[in-house]
Each structure stands twice: as C-alpha cells, then as structure tokens.
Amino acid sequence: MYRFEVHQVEKPLEGEVEISGAKNAVLAVMAAALLADGVSEITNVPHLKDMKTMSDVLRVIGCRISGESHELKIDTRGADHLEAPYELVKTMRASFYVLGPLVARFGRCRVSLPGGCAWGPRPVDLHLKGLEALGAKITLTRGYVEATCEGRLPGGNFNFPISSVGATVNVLMAATLAKGTSVLQNAALEPEIDNLVDFLNSMGAKIQGRGTRTLTVQGVEALRPGKCYTIPDRIEAGTFLCAAAITRGCIKVTKVFPEHIASTLDAFRDMGCKVDVGNDWAQVDARGMELKPINVTTLPYPGYPTDMQAPLMATLVSIPGNSTIQDTVYNDRFKHVAELQRLGADIQVNGNTAIIKGGTKLEGTEIMGSDLRATAALVLAAFISEGESTVSRVYHLDRGYEDFENKVAKIGGVVIRHSDDEEDDNL
C-alpha cells in the first residue's frame, strides 16, 4: 500500500501535461473484444490498475492478454469459462461489462453482482432490464447473475429510464449479436460510448445513431476482431486544469479532445480563468487572478461530469465566497468533504448539494482517499495547504491517473510516494 507526501506549492503550478487514454473507454472496449473470436487490438491504453483488473477478468474467462507499451492485444480464442468471479467484480464494477458480450456470444454466463461502492448502492438493475428486453433470461442466485438465451438473443427495444453509461455499454454490446434489430432509447451520450460504437462497428457491428440518444443496432451473426484507438481521458484533463486554478497557475493539457471537456472548461471560465483551446489542447490560466465562486450542477454528458465533482470542490475551497455543487448523478458522493474539512475547508452538505465557503486557511495534515476522484481532490487541496500533507489510500488514485507523480513534477508540484505496510486498508 502507498501514501503520498504532498508539499504545499512554493509557486503556482505551470507547464504542460500530456493526457493519457481514458480508462473508462478502454474497460468497455476490452469487454467488447469478447464478442469476436480472435485477436483485437487497443492502442493509447493507460498503464493503470483497472486495466490489470479487467485483464484478470478476461484471463479467468480464458483470454490471453499481451501487448507492449500502451497497446493491448486480447486473444479471445480460448474463451470458454463463462464466469466473472466475485473477487474481481467487487474490486472493479466495470468487470460487470462481460455480462452482455458473454450471453450474446455464448448464450449463457454467470457474473457476480458488484455489490456496494464507496459512494452509495450503485445498482445494476438497468443492465439487467435492458438485457431482458433483448430476450436474455436473467436469474439471481447467491450473489451471481445468471444470463441465458436459446441460440442467439432475439433483440428488442429498450428505453433507459435514466441515462446510464454502464447499462448502455452492456446492452449495446449484447445487441450487436442479436437476431433482430434493437433500438436503445435514452442511451448515454458520454464520449466513451462513441469510442465503443466505433470499435464495435470496426468489428462488423451495424450500429446507427452514434452520438445521439437513440442507437439502432441491426444484429449480425458474428463479429470479427477489431482495432481501437482510445480517446483521451477527459477527467484526467479536468483534474490537471483544476491544479492550474487552485494554485493560480497556468497549465496546458495536450493530446485531449477539447469538445469532450467543454462543460469543464465553461466552469473555469465562470470562475474567471482565462481559457484557451486548440485542436488537441486546452489551457487554463489563473495567474494573478482573483477567481469568483460558482454554482455547478453535475449531469450526464454533455453536462458537468460527476467525476469532476471532487476536484472541482477542492478548487472552489480556494476561492473566497460561497460556491455550490449539486451532484444529480450520485446523491451521496461526498466522502471527500470530511477530509477537506480536516485541512480547514468550510463545506456543508445538504442533501445532494455541497455549499463551499471558500477562502479559508488550509493547513496540511493526514488525510485519506475514499475513491479515485476524491483522492485526486485531496492532493489538489494539499497543494495549497500550509506545509506538508500525507494522503493515504492512494491505491484509489492509482486506478485512474497514469504516472501521476511525474506529471505533477513536470508542472512544478511535489508528490512523493511512500510505501506504507502498516496501513489498515480494510474499508
């Protein structure tokens, strides 16, 4: 286990950060490789714990995973153990993505229910209802989902009652191999879905409506292995831009798709930062500025992402005046609040809304990460907390930020990793 020693910045953070591929996009594509027999290839893959966990899930099923540097090759020719065990699914919910591909291609599978998560119950009912709408028979036994169908899935229509990234991923993948045509309404619009659609279509799937809320999928008998370039990680980009705002510095993120971070950039503009955008880069400049408090509501894409909620909150702690953040995607995703308070932040939570009275003096101390984005938020806050802070449970951060300490060092920050064998990490 590791902890971070984070130093208060001596001067505002400045420089360029190259953004890695989006782990949430890779996770869906890795599962989708199961839909074909052969070797699929993914490039721009970040080196992250979640990629290893998904590789382990695929290996249990019988796949071979190889690849150098930022490439992954997934050979599904040995896939015959149609099960994803609890030990893996509980550590990463996206393991549940194998459900749709496995039932669609093999007609049966058994996948553990993910269980709870640090910020609430996070159900999978829509994944299951959507697969049922395509004709899968679903039973729940001893914490496992068993999905079956006679021959190919018939296909069918499903209207997602709320926008869900994961349910869209699972149902879309399954629909590609159905006998008939499926229409998925109110599908999620997140860029990771477009990335998946492109990969599936490269495999021979017939999906129309990319980038819209209605995906029409004409099922095909078989798919061939595909190739995929992973889109840039819009949340990693947003987090580093927060590092510019919170330290009143200037950071340019490169290798990004600026349209994917439009709502994030709007929030920086609202604070009063100078925002510049190029073809594949974006820059937030807050040097010498008195930033303004803002009110933000998280929403499904293209709205402000819930995954940016914690890094944004840390940033708003640095801005004098009252800001609010309402999280409408997850009502209870506020574990970082108590830790920010330990640094000296003045934040009240009322239902799904946090009221941040910014501008209080922050003092470095020991703080603890509770989930991936919350841990990144604590590092940001530690940058402007007097002296040094110790952030424990950084395994959360390691799930989603590649090469974090080095990227921070490039912009002038100091984050030192220590191993911490003594830590009690049982949540």
Kindly list the distances between the CA atom of residue 246 and the CA atoms of 3, 307, 320, in Å, as whole numbers in the listed order. 22, 17, 12
Q: How far is the CB of 399 from ligand UD1 (least distance, A)?
A: 10
What is the closest distance, in whole angstroms, from the C-beta atom of residue 372 to ligand UD1 in the complex?
Answer: 8
Report the residue number, 140 or 162, with the smaller CB distance to ligand UD1.
162
A 10 A CB-CB count for 271 gives: 23
DSSP per-residue string spanning 257-306: -GGGGHHHHHHHHHHT-EEEE-SSEEEEE-TT------EEEE-STTSB-G
Among all chains, which residue has been given the structure tokens 């495999």? 203
The yes-or-no answer on residue 109 being catalytic is: no
C-beta separation of 390 from 419 below 8 A: no
> Smallest distance from the beta carbon of 27 to ligand UD1, in angstroms?
5
Q: Quick check: 332 and 352 in contact, CB under 8 A?
A: yes
Q: Would you say 234 or 248 has its CB closer to ligand UD1?
A: 234
- Of 6 and 131, CB closest to ligand UD1: 131
Residue 57 C-beta: closest distance to ligand UD1, Å: 13
Q: Which residues bind ligand UD1 (CB under 6 A)?
A: 24, 27, 93-94, 122-127, 162, 164-167, 192, 305-307, 329-330
Amino acid sitting at position 119: W
String of b and e for 207-242 (b: at least 16 CB within 10 Å)?
beeeeeeebbbebbeebebbebebbbbbbbbbbbbb
Q: Which of 63, 109, 117, 242 is catalytic?
A: 117
Name which of 131 and 265 has its Cβ closer to ligand UD1: 131
Residue for token pair 């604070």: 271
Q: What share of the chain is helix, strand, coil (3-state, %, to 5)?
A: 35, 25, 40
> What pairs with residue 17 in β-bridges?
253
Least distance from C-beta 126 to ligand UD1, angstroms? 3
Q: Give the nearer residue to ligand UD1 in terms of CB position, either 76 or 164.
A: 164
Q: Which residue is nearest to ligand UD1 (CB)?
A: 166
- Which residues are annotated as catalytic? 117
